[in-house]
Amino acid sequence: MGGFVSTGNEELDARIGGGIPVSTLLLLEGPHGSGKSVLALHIAYGALRVGLKVTYMTTEETVKGLLSQASRIGLDIDSFYMRGQLKIYPLYIEGVKWDKGSASRLLPLMAEYIKNTLKFWDVMVIDSFSVIASYASLTSTLNFVTKLKMIASRDKLLVLTVHSEALNENIMLRLRSICDGIIKLKYGEIGGVPVRIMEVVKLKRALGPVELVIAFDVDPSFGIKILPIALARG
């Protein structure tokens, strides 16, 4: 795998130094609807387009639902899925209730699977990790994320999306300290017009200059659309 993974959006790549560096555990955090899943799908799409293998674990969608979600924002990933370059694993099981025990038992199994399948993927997405972490014990959660960081160091990219309001601040502080990259997504306003904002909190080993604050919207035709507006931090 090369030195970075494209976000699937050339303008966004340029603003974050050329893309997401490999050997990165990337945290995408923000409130519901802020664009975390859209950005995760973009990263997956960018990787698939250059021949990388992607595994996508989702706690919020079925296989069909995820493919449809990508199609709605102009990302055609169906062909990659059909030929096996993209693997999709729904972690949501109808009728099974999440609780502390089941979540804590699942995390070691997930870590073992991720480690044992290294040769079958280059990019791994877990969307949304907060669904599991909100039920698992703090120890189980931190052990899992620490293992992911070690796995990512082996020339891999691992992406976690987190609903920041679903986890307490103590867990969020620990997660942020472990991850190599953090992008916070939130809502903002420019001249009375509502926009979405990416705040690049950190991105270790970025290949070039990184804009810390980026305004964007989600266009139904092609997904993330960078807005040509310079935002002052804060």
The CATH class, in words, for 4-226 is alpha beta
In whole angstroms, what is the distance from residue 213 CA to residue 134 CA? Answer: 28
pLDDT of residue 232: 40
pLDDT of residue 228: 79
Over residues 67-92, the pLDDT tens digits come to: 999 999 999 999 999 999 999 999 86
Is the pLDDT confidence value at 123 over 70? yes
Over residues 24-62, the pLDDT tens digits come to: 999 999 999 899 999 999 999 999 999 999 999 999 899
Which percentage of the chain shows pLDDT scores above 70?
92
pLDDT band at residue 208 under the 50/70/90 scheme: confident
Q: Which residue has the higher pLDDT, 230 or 43?
A: 43
Is the pLDDT confidence value at 182 over 60? yes
Query: At 119, which amino acid appears?
Result: K
With residue 89 as reference, give the H or E element that holds it.
strand 86-90
Average pLDDT over residues 208-225: 90
| CA distances to 115, 147, 214 from 109, in Å | 10, 12, 37
In whole angstroms, what is the distance from residue 115 CA to residue 7 CA? Answer: 24
